[in-house]
Chain A
Amino acid sequence: MREIAAQEITQAVKDLSMEAAYHLGDDVVEALEKGLEAETSPTGQDILKQLLENARIAAEGKFPMCQDTGFAVIFVELGQDVRIKGGDLNEAIHEGVRQGYKEAFLRKSVCHPFTRKNTGDNTPAIIHVKIVPGERVRLTLAGKGGGSENMSRVMMLKPSDGKEGIIEYVVQRVKESGPNPCPPTIVGVGIGGTFEKAAMLAKESLLRHQGEPNPDPELAEMERTILERINKLGIGPGGLGGRVTTLAVHVEMHPCHIASLPVAVNINCHAHRHKETVI
């Protein structure tokens, strides 16, 4: 049994929330550079250049790359041989978000659903804990912006809709979202499971190294097909017309009920903020 201090969790979450806001991952920067080569629209090219310049300014000056520094979504892979001492795991995470968002001058974007009163410190964070073998803790923070989250959906398709029905649903969702989720986007797709499992799969798929295909060849092909069809829609960077609407499609799948075919689409903007650390 390994002991990890709650304070250590707080520090790690704090560091992740700051790091995620300032530094766009190399994988996303590379994808934007590739997008710039592929884009034929002059406006689209101009927007991609602005986004690359924005990422550089943000990293160098430690400025948040986007003013929507997001809802802090924390994925915890907790080794079953770990004991958290000196505090509550959930509270330790909330405290990390609280400190990180305050010290880094990140925007507090969490409010009461009815009164819209801001909680003032970007908590509570959304926490997903998975117990895994071992004695380590992996913490992943996703700073999820409101614009792209608002364009996300869960749909309970009919089993007869099949693979083509899933592909069509995802492409249509991106089409209807148009400029709202800040294209070029990364599209996470969860297929199967139950209503909430599909949503979790879609969200978790976004944690994958951007553009890395699913190891299952059938799903990898589906990712390529969906990406190709999305990029024929013409939405383009900023939604102002172009060929680069989506940088990558990530699909994850899970067995489902004999009566169901759930599919979830979780769209992420180009400010694809995912940082992880292992304690």
Chain B
Amino acid sequence: MSDAIVLTPPLTDDDVKDLRAGDRVLISGTILTGRDAAHKRLVDLVNRGEELPVDVKGQIIYFVGPTPTRPGEAIGSAGPTTSYRMDAYSPILIEKGLKGMIGKGSRSREVIDAMVKHKAVYFAAVGGAAALISRRIESSEVIAYEELGPEAIRRLVVRDFPVIVVNDTEGNDLYEQGVKEYAIK
């Protein structure tokens, strides 16, 4: 993937505004994880006006619930989970400064609009490529909600984590464009 763009969080508006749907990206550095239960808790805190256990500003959040970590490994298998279940929560975190999300599957109109408005992007990782992806994760540390097990919020250090831009800051959607391009009438 010689044509891939390299990104290192934390990201600014400038880092994300030139990314386009279809771009291949390799992420190196620190990203956060969270899925259904953690998202619900974070958004409940925002709605109550309370402080979040982790600052999402400039961050990328990866929708993942890994398998348990084997002794001697950084993390278990860790592929993306389906993103639409986070649609109800993502706009609020984007408003709080979240710059990127990694998952699989299409996002709602509300999430896409929030990405355009607040300059954020949505990346797809390859669903089911969990063993391969886990080889690109160098370390993992639970930073909030340990009691949620696979759903806890983690901080990951990744190297050359392969993703594809699906939704960019101009409202493009690779899921729509890609399918249109290859559909046979």
Q: Which residues of the partner chain B approach A109 to less than 8 Å between Cβ atoms?
A: 65, 150
Interface residues of A in 24-68 (CB under 8 A from B): 40-41, 43-44, 46-47, 50-51, 53-54, 57-58, 61, 63-68
Interface residues of A in 164-179 (CB under 8 A from B): 178-179
Stretch at the interface among A131-139, A200-208, A239-247: A239-247
Q: Which residues of the partner chain B approach A40 to less than 8 Å between Cβ atoms?
A: 182
How far, in whole Å, are A66 and B162 apart by their CA atoms in the complex?
16
Contact (Cβ within 8 A) B82 A63: no
Q: Which residues of the partner chain A approach B135 to less than 8 Å between Cβ atoms?
A: 57
Contact (Cβ within 8 A) B127 A269: yes
User: Would A147 and B175 be within 8 Å (CB), given that A40-B182, A63-B131, A63-B134 are in contact?
Assistant: no
Q: Which residues of the partner chain A approach B104 to less than 8 Å between Cβ atoms?
A: 147, 179-180, 182, 238-239
Question: Whose C-beta in chain A lies nearest to the C-beta of B22?
Answer: A43
Contact (Cβ within 8 A) B106 A105: no
Contact (Cβ within 8 A) B37 A241: no
Q: Which residues of the partner chain A approach B69 to less than 8 Å between Cβ atoms?
A: 105
A277 within 8 A of B: no
Q: Which residues of the partner chain A approach B178 to less than 8 Å between Cβ atoms?
A: 41, 43, 234, 236, 239-242
How far, in whole Å, are A106 and B124 apart by their CA atoms in the complex?
24
User: Would A241 and B174 be within 8 Å (CB), given that A40-B182, A50-B126, A105-B70 are in contact?
Assistant: yes
A271 within 8 A of B: yes
Stretch at the interface among B11-19, B51-59, B71-79: B71-79
Q: Which residues of the partner chain A approach B183 to less than 8 Å between Cβ atoms?
A: 232-234
Distance in angstroms from A225 CB to nearest chain B CB is 15
Select B129's contact among A50, A232, A240, beta carbons within 8 Å: A50
Contact (Cβ within 8 A) B174 A240: yes
Contact (Cβ within 8 A) B67 A58: no
Identify which of B66, B128, B131 gathers the most chain A CB atoms within 10 Å of its CB.
Answer: B128
Q: Which residues of the partner chain B approach A105 to less than 8 Å between Cβ atoms?
A: 67-70, 76
A107 within 8 A of B: yes
How far, in whole Å, are A41 and B180 apart by their CA atoms in the complex?
12
Q: Which residues of the partner chain A approach B82 to less than 8 Å between Cβ atoms?
A: 146-147, 150, 180
Contact (Cβ within 8 A) B182 A243: yes
How far, in whole Å, are A65 and B78 apart by their CA atoms in the complex?
9
Select A53's contact among B68, B76, B105, B132, beta carbons within 8 Å: B132
How far, in whole Å, are A147 and B67 apart by their CA atoms in the complex?
16
Contact (Cβ within 8 A) A182 B127: yes
How far, in whole Å, are A92 and B174 apart by their CA atoms in the complex?
47
Contact (Cβ within 8 A) B77 A64: yes
Q: Which residues of A contact B (CB under 8 A)?
A: 40-41, 43-44, 46-47, 50-51, 53-54, 57-58, 61, 63-69, 105-109, 116, 118, 146-147, 150, 178-180, 182, 232-236, 238-243, 269-271
The 7 tightest CB contacts between A and B, nearest first, are: A241-B178, A234-B183, A234-B182, A182-B127, A58-B131, A232-B184, A54-B132
